[in-house]
Structures are given as C-alpha cells and as structure tokens.
C-alpha cells in the first residue's frame, strides 16, 4: 500500500505526516522542510521565505485536498490553481514543487505559455487540440505570450486552449493550473470576457502579496 505521507528522494525517506487509522494527517512544517530540500535539488538556489509561509500553507492544503482547510480558505480542491503575483516572486518554482508533495497522484506538466504559442506557430491547430483536450497541465506566465500566427492567420492560442480545457474540466474533471503576473482586468483585456468568465470556473485564484520581492535578485 502506498503511504502518501512518505516521499523517497535519492534513497532518503521524508515523512511529511502520519496515518492515524483511516485518516492522513499532514505536518505543515515537515512539508515546508521537504519543499525546501526538493527546491534546492531542482533549482540549486532555493529558499522558503517566512513571509510566504501563509500562502504556502494555503497551497499545501489545496494540493493534499484538506477539505476543512480548503473550505476555510474558500478554495475548491476540484478546481485548478491560478497563482498570481509580481515578477520573480516564486510562482513558477512553487507550482513545480507542489506536485512533488503528492507523488501518489497524477502529476501535471508545467509548460511556459510562450512555448505553447511557438509550438502553434510551427504545428498549427494540432497544438490547441493537444494541449486543450488531454492531460494535466500547468501553463506558466499566462498572458504575456505573443499572439500565435500560422499560415498568415493570427490566433489567440492560449485563449482557445483555455476554452477547450473548460470543456475538459466540465466533462472529465481534469484540472488546469496556471501562473500569471497580470490582474483580472488585464487577463480579460488579453483574452476577452468569454474566456475570463470560464477562468472563474476553472481556477481558484491564489495570490502572492503585490509587494513580494523579486527573489531572483
């Protein structure tokens, strides 16, 4: 039987909680310790800052689907995450790390939105079909990607993929995650009211503080 509280990394076991009867009890401090270790393995230079711990507590409870805590934070564990915040605050790193807390669950791939558009420019509408209709996906840096262009025709590639993934979510409960530097008004300007309306149903909006420092400096 898989123990969801035990993560084996390089032959070392990390216990991020305990099983009590039929209940899984996660330990947030141990989850933070593991995230910092995993972050250093993945990114070399990585640190969890005290000012981000409240946000990480919310995100950790989302990813382990703690119903009581999710209800407290008004988060729907059945929906995806839209993680927003200033440039360099750590959105991408956090989204890449969260999936490692639940290795027993189906993982999602993290793809820069601009790369999706570059793929469209090369392969055309097959890209929209591929990213829109299957798989667990996290689109990084939503809203700053260029407009797609294939055989002389412009296309708002990511907007079309979001519409397709909304249908995927409705019909098959497949979640979509994303990160963005933009606010709600800027996203609506980029993708239009129809897509913005679907995004409200696709995502839980979770945000870093607008004054979060650029951790890349």
pLDDT of residue 61: 97
Whether 1 shows a pLDDT value over 60: the answer reads no
Yes or no: say if 125 and 133 are a contact pair by the CB < 8 Å rule: no
Question: How far apart, in whole angstroms, are the C-alpha atoms of residue 3 and residue 116?
Answer: 35
pTM recorded for the entire structure: 0.94
Question: What's the pLDDT band for 173 if we cut at 50, 70, 90?
Answer: very high
Give CATH for domain 6-207.
Answer: 3.40.50.300
User: Would you kindly state where each structural domain of the chain is located, as residue ranges?
Assistant: 6-207
pLDDT in tens, 123-155: 999 999 999 997 899 999 999 999 999 999 999
| d(C-alpha 167, C-alpha 133), whole Å | 8
Measured CA distances, 33 to 23, 52, 97, 138, 147 (Å): 22, 14, 12, 24, 40
* Least confident segment among 72-76, 142-146, 166-170, 209-213: 209-213
């Amino acid at each position: 039987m898989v123990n969801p509280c035990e993560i084996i990394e390089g032959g070392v076991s990390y216990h991020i909680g305990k099983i009590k009867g039929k209940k899984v009890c996660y330990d947030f401090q141990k989850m933070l310790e593991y995230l910092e270790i995993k972050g250093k393995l993945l990114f070399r230079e990585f640190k969890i800052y005290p000012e981000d711990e409240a946000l990480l507590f919310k995100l950790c409870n989302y990813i382990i689907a703690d119903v009581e805590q999710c209800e407290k934070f008004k988060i729907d564990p059945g929906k995806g995450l839209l993680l927003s915040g200033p440039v360099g605050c750590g959105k991408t790193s956090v989204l890449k790390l969260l999936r490692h807390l639940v290795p027993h669950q189906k993982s999602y791939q993290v793809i820069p939105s601009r790369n999706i558009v570059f793929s469209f420019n090369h392969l055309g509408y097959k890209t929209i079909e591929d990213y829109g209709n299957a798989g667990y996906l996290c689109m990084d840096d939503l809203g700053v990607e260029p407009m797609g262009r294939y055989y002389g025709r412009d296309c708002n590639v990511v907007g079309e993929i979001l519409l397709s993934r909304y249908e995927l979510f409705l019909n098959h409960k497949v979640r979509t995650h994303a990160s963005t530097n933009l606010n709600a008004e800027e996203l609506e300007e980029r993708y239009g009211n129809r897509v913005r309306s679907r995004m409200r149903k696709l995502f839980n909006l979770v945000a870093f503080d607008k004054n979060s420092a650029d951790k890349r400096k």
